[in-house]
């Protein structure tokens, strides 16, 4: 392994964590001079030193020795310039490479069935994100009155899109999407705990909108300030109508006619698994009160709960809606991280391990887990029933 690869990774990871050379050297049990030579590519670390450096940085050895691959053909969504941007792109490239290698190993590459509808949408003389959302739902076999209860499964199983959860300590970075010849189509969502699950789901739909409507933006690395870009606004409209098609929204809104505004909004948000803000945006477009819906909702919420909603607050569905005149059964539970749990990649790793095509350490690397956490997941697996013979 070239020393400059290790040195470059050490410098990048150290800077991302805000650590000094002295701190890393002390954590690894070596002198600062020795560490400096390794980081500058002058000397090659011994195996034990490499392990110590990985522990000091709290990363896997693979992250120290794997060459950084520049990820092209992306659309990076953030509201401001981020210090973590380079680390996100490096990690996405590494994880997509591992994901793609595993698909090839198991012979289960996923086709991308949206290429045709995407071309038609992008060639349209007057592109409408509302129409695009309807066309994509139809292409994926989703009825106009069918809610999307599992967006991860939908995108991975029907749309052939790799969906990666990547928690990053920032509420200014929501996600990105990739359209790559090498790795296919992918969506990355920042599942930081301070970002609501509703926002995770909306981000996935938002990035899907970019993939099908804005193919020209993936010719090179594109970093966007979300609130300043027209394509961002189009993707927001796409996501809103992809998750809440007009016909179904109007039907569900009508069902709640006898409830107060706050309860109606929170009930609708539960059905569609979107944020209360997404519901208010839609209402501002269709109700006579227009943008006045924002002040009206805030005032009534304050009266009902004796508190205001902050910028990042996402009120939970109201448990006291026992007398809802909408459907009394079959409603989704309160949203939690399990609604956005890992899915296809975990299944592929389990299959590869059971077929002895990869090692446990390789499985941990693909899932971006420590070896101990990988073993904990494996301990939780249960024996699956043998499929009945025909």
3-class secondary structure per residue, 84-101: CHHHHHHHHHHHHHHHHH
Whether residue 9 is found in the same domain as residue 48: yes
Task: Please report the pLDDT score of residue 25 as a whole number.
Answer: 93
Span 356-369, mean pLDDT? 91
The Cα 109–Cα 190 span in angstroms is 25
Task: Please report the pLDDT score of residue 195 as a whole number.
Answer: 85
DSSP character at residue 209: H
SS3 240: helix
Average pLDDT, the chain: 84
Instruction: Give pLDDT tens digits for 222-237.
Output: 554 444 578 889 999 9
Phi-psi region of 306 (alpha: psi -120 to 50; beta: other; left: phi over 0): left
The Cα 364–Cα 372 span in angstroms is 9
Q: Which of 201, 227, 243 is the last residue of a domain?
A: 243
Beta-bridged to residue 180, according to DSSP, are 184
pTM above the 0.95 mark?
no
Instruction: Give pLDDT tens digits for 139-151.
Output: 999 988 888 888 9
163 found inside a domain: yes
CATH code of 197's domain: 1.10.10.2910
Q: What values do phi and psi take at 184, rounded to 5?
A: 80, -155
Whether residue 168 is found in the same domain as residue 134: yes
The Cα 346–Cα 197 span in angstroms is 20
Greater confidence (329 vs 140) lies with 140
Whether residue 114 is found in the same domain as residue 46: no
Instruction: Give pLDDT tens digits for 91-130.
Output: 888 889 999 999 999 999 989 999 999 999 998 877 899 9
Task: Please report the pLDDT score of residue 317 as a whole number.
Answer: 41
Whether residue 183 is found in the same domain as residue 94: yes
Structure tokens at 368: 């971006």
Whether residue 90 is found in the same domain as residue 220: yes
Structure tokens at 333: 């539970």
Q: Which of 120-124, 148-152, 321-325, 333-337 has the lowest mean pLDDT?
A: 321-325
Span 353-367, mean pLDDT? 92
Q: Which of 27, 47, 65 is the last residue of a domain?
A: 65
Whether residue 216 is found in the same domain as residue 122: yes
Greater confidence (388 vs 353) lies with 353
Task: Please report the pLDDT score of residue 204 as a whole number.
Answer: 94
- Name the residue range of residue 155's domain: 74-243
Whether residue 332 is found in the same domain as residue 348: no
**Per the structure, how many domains does the chain have?**
4
When computed from its CA atoms, the radius of gyration of the chain, rounded to whole angstroms, is: 23
Percent of the chain with pLDDT over 90: 47
385 found inside a domain: no
51 Cβ contact partners less than 8 Å away, ≥ 6 residues apart: 61
147 found inside a domain: yes
Span 267-277, mean pLDDT? 90
384 found inside a domain: no
Whether residue 101 is found in the same domain as residue 151: yes
CATH code of 12's domain: 1.10.260.40
The Cα 302–Cα 136 span in angstroms is 39
Greater confidence (319 vs 115) lies with 115
The Cα 39–Cα 14 span in angstroms is 10
Structure tokens at 155: 């995108």
Task: Please report the pLDDT score of residue 114 as a whole number.
Answer: 96
Task: Please report the pLDDT score of residue 313 as a whole number.
Answer: 87
Say if CB 179 and CB 185 are below 8 A apart.
yes
322 found inside a domain: yes
Q: What values do phi and psi take at 190, rounded to 5?
A: -75, 110
Whether residue 209 is found in the same domain as residue 78: yes
Task: Please report the pLDDT score of residue 336 as a whole number.
Answer: 55
SS3 185: strand
Instruction: Give pLDDT tens digits for 19-77.
Output: 899 999 999 999 999 999 999 989 889 999 999 999 999 888 888 888 776 677 788 76
Whether residue 265 is found in the same domain as residue 277: yes
């Amino acid at each position: 392994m070239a020393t400059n690869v290790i040195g470059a990774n050490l410098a990048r990871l150290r800077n991302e964590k805000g650590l000094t050379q002295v701190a890393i050297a002390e954590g690894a049990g070596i002198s600062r001079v020795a560490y400096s030579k390794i980081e500058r590519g002058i000397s090659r670390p011994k195996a034990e030193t490499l392990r110590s450096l990985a522990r000091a940085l709290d990363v896997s050895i693979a992250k120290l020795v794997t060459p950084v691959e520049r990820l092209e053909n992306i659309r990076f969504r953030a509201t401001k310039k981020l210090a973590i941007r380079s680390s996100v792109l490096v990690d996405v490239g590494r994880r997509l490479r591992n994901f793609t290698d595993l698909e090839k190993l198991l012979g289960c590459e996923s086709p991308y069935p949206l290429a045709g509808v995407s071309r038609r949408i992008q060639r349209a003389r007057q592109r409408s994100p509302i129409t695009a959302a309807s066309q994509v739902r139809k292409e994926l076999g989703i009825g106009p009155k069918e809610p999307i209860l599992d967006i991860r499964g939908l995108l991975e199983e029907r749309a052939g899109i790799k969906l990666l959860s990547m928690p990053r300590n920032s509420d200014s970075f929501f996600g990105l999407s990739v359209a790559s010849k090498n790795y296919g189509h992918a969506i990355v969502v920042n599942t930081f705990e301070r970002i609501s699950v509703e926002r995770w789901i909306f981000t996935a739909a938002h990035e899907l909108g970019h993939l099908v409507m804005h193919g020209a933006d993936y010719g090179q690395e594109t970093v966007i300030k979300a609130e300043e870009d027209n394509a961002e606004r189009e993707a927001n409209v796409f996501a809103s109508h992809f998750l809440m098609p007009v016909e179904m929204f109007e039907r569900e809104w009508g069902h709640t006619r006898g409830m107060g505004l706050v309860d109606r909004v929170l009930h609708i948000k539960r059905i569609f698994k979107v944020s209360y803000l997404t519901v208010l945006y839609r209402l501002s477009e269709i109700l006579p009160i227009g943008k006045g819906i924002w002040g009206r909702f805030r005032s009534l919420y304050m009266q009902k709960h004796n508190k205001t909603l902050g910028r990042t607050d996402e009120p939970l569905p109201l448990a006291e809606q026992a007398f809802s005149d909408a459907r009394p059964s079959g409603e989704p539970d309160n949203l939690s991280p399990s609604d956005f749990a890992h899915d296809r990649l975990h299944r592929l790793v389990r299959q590869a391990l059971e077929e002895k095509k990869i090692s446990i350490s390789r499985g941990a690397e693909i899932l971006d887990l420590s070896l101990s956490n990988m073993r904990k997941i494996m301990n939780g697996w249960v024996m699956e029933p043998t499929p009945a013979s025909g």
